[in-house]
Amino acid sequence: MKRLLILLFFIATTASAQHKFTQFSLRGGLDLGHKYNMPPTVKMPLAGFNAGFSADKYWSFWGIGIDVDVYTNKAARYDSSGLNANSYTFSATKMQRYFAGIGPSFKLQAGKLVAELNLRGGISYADGSAIKADAVFAGPLNMSMFNHAGYNKKHYGAAKAKASVNYYFTPKWAVQAGAYYLYHINSEAPYSYSEIIALPNNVNYVKDITSVSSYGVFAGVSYRIFPVKKKKQTQTLPPAAVLLKDIQVYVKDELTGQPLPDVTVALFNAAGKIAEAATDKNGKVVFPQTTQLDYTVKASLNDIAATYGTVDKEQYTAGDIVVTLTHNDPRFTLVGKAVNKTSGEAEGDVNVTLTNETKSSVRQASSKAGSGEFRFQLEGGSEFNVAGKKKNYLSNIEKISTKGLNRSQALYVQLELGVEEAVEGKEIRLEKIYYDLDRSDLRPDASSDLKKLILFLRDNPTLRIELSAHTDARGSDAHNLRLSQARAQSVVDYLVRNGISKDRMVAKGYGEMKPVNACTDCTEAAHQQNRRTEIKVL
C-alpha cells in the first residue's frame, strides 16, 4: 500500500494537466487466489483466470471509474504424503468470485503511453472452494484430516488496487497490460484439521480461520472517447472572420535527426483525409491556409508509418502551427544517380536492379527523368551489387556494403551508376581486362566489365557486336596481330560459356594497327592506353 501511495503522489505532482476523455477497457489474464493461514498440507495459490470490464472518466490527471470482474480458480490440493493411512479420500471444489467496485483513477500521459492507477471499493461474491480430506488408519480409526466448508454464495466488502499501461496506437484505440491485488473484506471462514503427533491418542484437533484474496496480471484493449464541446447559445451575430493558417509539418529520421524528403504526409479532420503531399529536401511540407479545425497529421515512408501529430483549434489564435514527426526505419537509404558516361548528364528511365548478395534478395527501381535519381533501402551488415538496364545502353556494375556502418550515425549511402549508349559503329572500351604477360588466356580476376557486357547482351538479344583487342607497338606486327586475335577470341569464348550465342559476336584482333595516340617514343602510360579491349555494335 505504501508503494501505491508513492506512485499516486508522483502522478499527482507531475501530471498537472492532461487531456479529458472517457475510457473503456476489456481485459483477461492469470489470477492467483490465496487463502490465508492455511496449513502447509493445503497448497496455495489457486491458479485460475480473470476477465473484466472498466469504465473511467478523466477530467485531468484524475478521474473516477468502475470495475466489474469475474475470477475462476482451480480447486485446492491436499498433500497426503506421509500419512501412512489404510485409505484416504479427498474432495474439493473450484472457487468462483465476482467483483464490482467504484473509486478514483489516476493517470500519467507520455506521448502514446498512458500509465494508470485505479483504486476501487465495492462488493464481492464468493462461492465454492470447499476442501475435505478423511483418512482411515489401523484400528480401524476414522479421522477427519481437513475440513473447510468454503464460501456458500456469500457477499463481502472488497478493495482492489490495479496498475496498468496503455499504448495508444491510434488516437482512440490502445493495447493494455497490468497487474492487480484484490482483498475480500470480512471473508473470514472457519476450518479444522488434525495434527497427528502419535496415533491413536496423541492427535491435536485444530480449529482456525482463513480469509481470501487474489493477485494477478492481465492484458486487453482500451477505447477512449473525447468530449464534444457544447455550442454556446448566443444571439445571432454577423459571421466572424474565418481564421486561416498554414500547417507546417517536418519529418525527421528518429536515429540521426536528419530531415527526410519524399515522405507522404496526410492531413485529416473529422470528415476524413483532406490533403496529401510529400516532404521536400528539408523534410518539410506545408498545408496552406487551413480552416480553424482540429486536425490529425500522419506520415509514411517505405511502408513504415511515422509518429502522428495533432493540431487543436486553439493553436490558430497563437503563433505558427508547426508539427514535427519522427520516422524509425533501421535500414540505410541508398541515394543513387544514373549518369550518362558520354555526356555527363543525368540519365532517366534506367531500370536499376539491387542484389543483396548476403541475403540473396533482389529489388528494382527506375531512375527519375531529369535527376536520374533512384533509391533503395539497405539492410545492415550486407554486401550489394547495383546494375542498370536500358535499351541499347551498357551499364556499370557497382558494389556497395553496409558492413561496419553505424545506423545511429549514418542514414544515406551515395552512389553514381554510369551508363553508356551503344549506338551502331561506336567503340566502347572495356576497362581492366586482364591477361597474363604475352598470353591470351583471361585471368581469374577479369574485370566486372565482362559481367556488365553479359547483362547488356542478354538485355538486348537482337544486337550483334564486334569484340576487338589491341596491343601496343612493342613486338613484331605479326606477333601482335596473332596475340590480339587470340585475346579477342578468348573474350568471345568467355561470353559463349556464359550463355551468349557465338553468332552474335565477331572476334577481331587489330594488333598495333589502331593506336589511340600517335606517340613515337611512347611512355609506359601511352603504351597502356593502346593496350585495350573494345566492343562495337554492328
CATH says 244-327 is which class?
Answer: mainly beta
Segment 509-523 shows an average pLDDT of: 83
- Residues 6+ away with beta carbon under 8 Å from 104: 62, 63, 64, 65, 118, 119
* CATH architecture designation of domain 330-421: Sandwich (2.60)
Residue 380, pLDDT score: 93
Phi/psi region, residue 112 (left: phi>0; alpha: psi -120 to 50; beta: rest), is: alpha
pLDDT attached to residue 16: 41
Cα separations (Å) of 230 from 57, 227, 437? 18, 9, 92
* CATH fold for the domain made of 18-225: Porin (2.40.160)
Per mean pLDDT, which range of 38-42, 108-112, 444-448 is the poorest? 444-448
User: Which has the higher per-residue pLDDT, 396 or 239?
Assistant: 396
Residue 472 confidence (pLDDT):
83
What's the Cα-to-Cα distance from 166 to each of 30, 48, 105, 474, rounded to whole Å? 18, 24, 14, 81
pTM exceeds cut of 0.75? no
Share of the chain above pLDDT 90, in %: 61
pLDDT of residue 232: 64
Sequence-ordered alpha helix ranges (H) in 498-535: 524-530
pLDDT digits (tens, 9 = 90+) for 315-354: 998 889 999 999 999 999 999 999 999 999 999 999 999 9
Q: Mark residue 222 as left, alpha or beta (left: phi above 0; alpha: psi -120 to 50; beta: remaining).
A: beta
Integer Cα distance of 43 and 30 in angstroms: 18
Q: Name the β-bridge partners of 463.
A: none
Euclidean distance between CA atoms 106 and 100, whole angstroms: 19
On the CB side of 239, CA atoms within 13 Å amount to 3
**Domain assignments of the chain as residue spans, ordered by start:** 18-225, 244-327, 330-421, 424-537
Does pLDDT of 15 surpass 60?
no
Quickly state the pLDDT bin for 86 (edges 50, 70, 90).
confident
Superfamily (CATH) of domain 424-537:
OmpA-like domain (3.30.1330.60)
Question: 244 vs 201, which has greater pLDDT?
Answer: 244
pLDDT value of position 517: 83
Q: How does the average pLDDT of the chain come out, rounded?
A: 88
CA 362 vs CA 115, 358, 377, 486, 498: distances in Å:
44, 11, 12, 37, 21
Is 330-421 in the same CATH topology as 244-327?
Answer: yes
Mean pLDDT of 42-70: 94
Q: Which three cell numbers stand for residue 499?
A: 550463355
* Confidence check: pLDDT of 12 > 60: no
Measure the CA–CA gap between 161 and 145, rounded to whole angstroms.
36
Q: Is the pLDDT of residue 510 over 80?
A: yes
User: What pLDDT score does 492 carry?
Assistant: 93
**What pLDDT band is residue 80 in, cutting at 50, 70 and 90?**
confident
DSSP string computed for 442-467 = BPTT--HHHHHHHHHHHH-TT--EEE
Weakest mean pLDDT among 203-207, 325-329, 402-406: 203-207
As to burial, measured by CB atoms within 10 angstroms (0-12 exposed, 13-18 middle, 19+ buried), residue 413 is middle
Residue 343 backbone phi and psi in degrees, to 5: -95, -20
Amino acid at 168: Y
- Which strand (E) or helix (H) includes residue 3? helix 2-14
270 and 229 Cβ atoms separated by less than 8 Å:
no
Mean pLDDT of the region 284-313: 94
Q: What are the grid coordinates assigned to 280, written together?
A: 521536400
For residue 115, name the pLDDT band (cuts at 50, 70, 90): very high
If you average pLDDT over residues 202-207, what whole number do you get? 86
193, 199, 202, 207 alpha-carbon torsion, rounded to 10°: 10
* Cα distance between residue 19 and residue 110, in whole Å: 11
Which stretches of 257-345 are assigned E, i.e. beta strand? 264-269, 272-278, 284-291, 295-301, 304-305, 309-311, 321-327, 332-340
Q: For residues 393 and 39, what is the distance between their CA atoms, to the nearest angstrom?
A: 88
How far CA 28 is from CA of 35, 117, 120, in Å, comes to 22, 17, 18
In which band, very low, low, confident or very high, does the pLDDT at 25 lie, cut at 50, 70 and 90?
very high
194 in helix, strand or coil? Answer: strand
